[in-house]
Amino acid sequence: MSELIPQPHDVVVALDIGTTKVCCLAGRKNDYGKLEIIGVGKVESAGVLRGVVSNIEKTVGAIREAVEICERNAKMKFNSVHVGIAGQHIKSLQHRGILTRDSDHTEIVDRDIDRLVNDMFKLVLPPGDKIIHVFPQEFTVDSEQGITDPVGMCGVRLEANFHIITGQITAINNIYRCIEKAGLKVADLTLEPIASADATLSDEEKQAGVALVDIGGGTTDITIFHEGIIRHTAVIPFGGNVITADIKEGCTVMQPQAEKLKIKFGSALANEVYDNRIITIPGLKGRDHKEISEKNLARIIQARMEEVLDYVLWEIRRSGYERKLIGGIVLTGGGSLLANTDKLSEMHTGMSCRVGAPVENLAHGYHESVSSPIFSTGIGLLLRGLQDLEIDTAPVEESNSDKNGKHEPSNVSEEKEPSWFENVFKKTKEWFEAEPDMDFNGKF
């Protein structure tokens, strides 16, 4: 490992700790702003159950192995990673924040929005929960509603609706502990379906309204966008592993055989199986071989996939955006590779559907394996890490400019707003200075 160079500042490393795989990706932006993958490491996961770490030592071993493979590919020694989190413990809630500003003559700046966001982190949550993300939705400035970006406007009362995502402190701490034991630091923690959405959805889809369904091994993650804003997130504790378990029980075969049957011969729609071939499985320790029809295998898979889609449809209806999703459903993750999953989704939900692969942001010449939907979360984590890198390396003076690159007038942007204490002190001083002008009856 001595020949490996230290991780350069412009290289971001992502770590996707899943139920069935641990995936490490390293990448940087090229001269054209596209993501260039410079290292990939993928190993079978151990110690993760339904997206949550259940065995620290096994998870640490899988992380080390995936990172070492990626380091050899990239010829670098990594020190920090951007990691994803999922699991049944993830919850989301809506909350409204209000900020009363001192003056209606000064423009609203990023600092005002930061104060509103920071206030959300003070919310009282159920014991053991912690806020992971706070996403502003619409703003209201002095009763003017439906504002997406209030920076530059004038007003006294600034209000905002927030989408807040929480998770269990113990689950978060276990992820941090695993990565630290593997000799790395956590650069950032991101909810996995949000990362997958960054990798697979276009801006037009997010604007039109779309539901991203990431079918992983242990969980199915849902993110709903409308008008470019995250409206709803949810994690369903079912994934590809329950389909494998059903095949194992229904066909009375071993777990590895059930997984191979699902991947090689599986179909989510029994009606699409026309040949109805007979699949022969070798017997255990000299016993007779077992024969399974392809149509029966598809029936087992379809029954479980329909159950998963029922939960997906319930979450979409619960969000209140069922009628507003013009973009329909986008499937990604390893479960979306199952044959005819998109067709079953269209039939079961009545919404248009496509399988999303994370290729839109990749630089030309990427390896074919990286374009698979199983890497959606990892590539999304890389993209978010590169965004954070751009913010960290941005010149300081740019913080006073608006989104069009136009700088605010110096008397607005550079003027320091008086603090609450300074305002109180000023008003108290004015009150004391006015005292001599009053007689003992309180009259001027």
Instruction: Quote the domain boundaries for residue 101.
Output: 91-168
- What is this structure's pTM? 0.82
Looking at residue 271, its amino acid is N
- Whether residue 363 has pLDDT greater than 90: no
138 lies in a domain? Answer: yes
pLDDT in tens, 425-436: 565 555 545 544
What are 38-62's pLDDT values in tens digits? Answer: 999 999 988 888 888 999 999 999 9
| Residues 226/324, Cβ–Cβ less than 8 Å | yes
Q: 405: which DSSP letter? A: S
Instruction: Give CA 292 to chain center in angstroms.
Output: 39
For residue 82, being part of any structural domain is answered with: no
Report the C-alpha gap between 296 and 381 in whole angstroms: 38
Rounded Cα gap, residues 327 and 388, in angstroms? 28
Residue 167 and residue 132 in contact, taking contact as beta carbons nearer than 8 Å = yes
**278 lies in a domain?**
yes
Output the domain CATH number for residue 282. 3.30.420.40
Q: How far is CA 255 from CA 217, 247, 259, in A?
A: 14, 9, 6
Residue 113 domain flag: yes
Strand ordering across the sheet containing 229-236? 229-236, 220-226, 210-215, 329-332, 353-355
56-77 burial code (b ≥16 CB/10 A, e <16): eeebbbbbbbbbbbbbebbebe
Segment 105-125, tens digit of pLDDT: 888 899 999 999 999 999 999
**pLDDT average, residue stretch 372-387:** 92
Please say whether the beta carbons of 81 and 221 come within 8 A. Answer: no
CA atoms in the 13 A half-sphere facing the CB of 370: 26
Beta carbons of 18 and 66 less than 8 angstroms apart: no
Kindly tell me the burial class for residue 398, based on how many C-beta atoms sit within 10 Å of its own C-beta (0-12, 13-18, 19 or more).
exposed
Under the banding of pLDDT at 50, 70 and 90, the label for residue 438 is very low
Beta strands in 343-418 (DSSP E): 353-355
- Given 148, 168, 188, the domain boundary residue is 168
- Of 84-93, 141-150, 387-396, least confident by mean pLDDT is 387-396
In a domain, 264, yes or no: yes
Mean pLDDT computed over every residue of the chain: 85
CA distances to 119, 135, 180, 231, 301 from 123, in Å: 7, 14, 29, 19, 42
Q: Is the pLDDT of residue 222 over 50?
A: yes
Q: Measure the CA–CA gap between 45 and 62, rounded to whole angstroms.
A: 6
Q: Is residue 148 domain-resident?
A: yes
Element at 291 (helix H, strand E): strand 290-293
CATH of the domain at 144: 3.30.1490.110
pLDDT recorded at residue 274: 82
Per mean pLDDT, which range of 1-5, 97-101, 157-161, 207-211 is the poorest? 1-5
Mean pLDDT, to the nearest integer, of 128-144?
Answer: 91
Q: Minimum mean pLDDT among 5-9, 190-194, 244-248, 381-385: which range?
A: 5-9
DSSP notation for 322-359: GGG-TT-EEEESGGGGSBTHHHHHHHHH-S-EEE--TT
Question: Domain end: 255, 277, 301, which one?
Answer: 301
Place of tokens 């703003």: 139
Cα-to-chain-centroid distance, residue 162: 16
Task: Confirm whether 252 is domain-assigned.
Answer: yes
Task: State yes or no: pLDDT of 101 exceeds 60.
Answer: yes
129 assigned to some structural domain:
yes
Q: How many domains are contained in the chain?
A: 2
CB 334 within 8 A of CB 360: no
With left for phi above 0 and alpha for psi between -120 and 50, is residue 336 left, alpha or beta? alpha
Residue 98 CB coordination number (10 Å): 11
pLDDT of residue 282: 82
Last residue of a domain, one of 301, 323, 346: 301
